[in-house]
Amino acid sequence: MKEFAVPTGPLRTITPTIDVYIKLAQYPILCDRIRLRMREELFRRGIISKNDFEQEVKDLAIESQRREGLNNPTVQEDETSWLHRLEIIRDLHTDSYFANNLGSTLLEQLITEILNNQDKAPKAIDLTFNPEIAPWAMLFEQGGIYDALPPPELEKVKHHLEEIKVVLIKRLLSDQLPFIRVAKHVFSIKDLSWIYERLIGSGKIGGKSGGMLLAWHILERTDLDFGPDLSEHITIPDTYFIGSEIIYEFLLQNKMERFVNQKYLSVEEMRAQYPEIVQSCLSGKIPSYIVEQLRDVLTRLNGRPFVVRSSSLLEDHLDYEFAGKYASVFCPNQGSPQENLDALLDGVRRVYASIFNPEAMLERQKHGLIDYDERMAVMIQALIGHQYGRYFLPTIVGSGLSQNPWLDPNDSRAQDGCLRLTLGLDKRVQRPLEDGNACIISLNTPDYFNDSQKFIQENVRVVDLQDNDFKLLPISDILREDYPNGRILLHPQTHQLTYDHFIKDKKFIRLMRTALTRLEKTYGVPIQVEFALEIVDAPGNTDYKLYILQCHTAQ
* Residue 3 DSSP symbol: P
Question: For residue range 504-541, what is the model confidence (pLDDT) as tens digits?
Answer: 888 999 999 999 999 999 988 899 999 999 988 766 67
Mean pLDDT highest for which of 136-140, 289-293, 449-453? Answer: 289-293
* Residue 490 DSSP symbol: B
Give the pLDDT of residue 37: 86
CA 15, 16, 17, 20 torsion-angle sign: positive
Interval 191-197 mean pLDDT: 94
CA–CA dist 550, 316 (Å, integer): 8
Give the pLDDT of residue 409: 74
CA–CA dist 81, 246 (Å, integer): 11
Tell me whether residue 28 is exposed, middle or buried, using C-beta atoms within 10 angstroms of its C-beta: 0 to 12, 13 to 18, 19 or more. exposed
Q: How far apart are the first and last CA of the chain?
A: 54
92 neighbors 35 (Cβ within 8 angstroms): no
CA–CA dist 400, 517 (Å, integer): 11
Angle at 228 between CA 223 and CA 520, to 5 degrees: 80
Banded model confidence at residue 349, pLDDT cuts 50, 70, 90: very high
Residue 201: closest CA among 247, 155, 165: 247
Question: Given a cut of 70, is residue 503 above it in pLDDT?
Answer: yes
Give the pLDDT of residue 5: 39
Question: Given a cut of 70, is residue 10 above it in pLDDT?
Answer: no
166 neighbors 184 (Cβ within 8 angstroms): yes
Question: Given a cut of 50, is residue 8 above it in pLDDT?
Answer: no
Question: Given a cut of 50, is residue 159 above it in pLDDT?
Answer: yes
Give the pLDDT of residue 72: 63
Give the pLDDT of residue 75: 52
CA–CA dist 167, 172 (Å, integer): 9
| Stretch(es) of the chain classified as CATH 3.30.1490 | 239-382
Question: Given a cut of 50, is residue 433 above it in pLDDT?
Answer: no
On the question of a cis peptide bond just before residue 446, with omega within 30 degrees of 0, the verdict is: yes
User: Which stretches of 170-283 are assigned E, i.e. beta strand?
Assistant: 199-200, 234-235, 239-242
Q: Tell me the pTM.
A: 0.77
CATH (residue range 239-382):
3.30.1490
Domain 387-553 in this protein, CATH class: alpha beta
Question: Given a cut of 60, is residue 450 above it in pLDDT?
Answer: no
Q: Helix, strand, coil proportions of the chain in percent (round to 5)?
A: 50, 15, 35
Banded model confidence at residue 345, pLDDT cuts 50, 70, 90: very high
Question: Given a cut of 90, is residue 87 above it in pLDDT?
Answer: no
Question: For residue range 199-211, what is the model confidence (pLDDT) as tens digits?
Answer: 999 899 999 999 9
Interval 296-316 mean pLDDT: 89
Question: Given a cut of 50, is residue 406 above it in pLDDT?
Answer: yes
Give the pLDDT of residue 124: 54
Question: Given a cut of 50, is residue 321 above it in pLDDT?
Answer: yes
Measured CA distances, 476 to 177, 457, 459, 481, 511 (Å): 49, 10, 8, 10, 30
Which residue blocks in 102-240 are alpha helix, DSSP H?
103-117, 136-147, 151-172, 177-183, 189-197, 207-220
CA–CA dist 409, 116 (Å, integer): 63
Share above pLDDT 70 across residues of the chain, in percent, rounded to a whole number: 86
Question: Given a cut of 70, is residue 435 above it in pLDDT?
Answer: no
Residue 549: closest CA among 236, 310, 221, 204: 236
| Stretch(es) of the chain classified as CATH 3.30.470.20 | 387-553
Interval 357-373 mean pLDDT: 78
Banded model confidence at residue 291, pLDDT cuts 50, 70, 90: very high
Interval 336-342 mean pLDDT: 96
Other Cβ atoms less than 10 A from the Cβ of 284: the count is: 18
438 neighbors 420 (Cβ within 8 angstroms): yes
Which residue blocks in 283-331 are alpha helix, DSSP H?
288-301
Counting every residue, how long is the chain?
A: 555
Amino acid letter, 171? R
Banded model confidence at residue 327, pLDDT cuts 50, 70, 90: confident
Share above pLDDT 90 across residues of the chain, in percent, rounded to a whole number: 36
Other Cβ atoms less than 10 A from the Cβ of 68: the count is: 11
Give the pLDDT of residue 254: 94
Residue 4: closest CA among 98, 103, 95, 97: 97
Banded model confidence at residue 55, pLDDT cuts 50, 70, 90: confident
Angle at 214 between CA 210 and CA 220, to 5 degrees: 145
Q: What is the 3-state secondary structure (H, E, C) of 466-497?
A: CCCEEEEEEHHHCCCCCCCCHHHHECCCCCCE
Question: Given a cut of 70, is residue 298 above it in pLDDT?
Answer: yes
Banded model confidence at residue 9, pLDDT cuts 50, 70, 90: very low
CA 162, 164, 167, 169 torsion-angle sign: negative
Q: Quote the mean pLDDT of the chain.
A: 84
Angle at 437 between CA 432 and CA 443, to 5 degrees: 50
Least confident of 84-88, 367-371, 390-394: 367-371
Question: For residue range 243-286, what is the model confidence (pLDDT) as tens digits?
Answer: 999 998 999 999 988 888 877 888 888 888 889 999 999 999 99
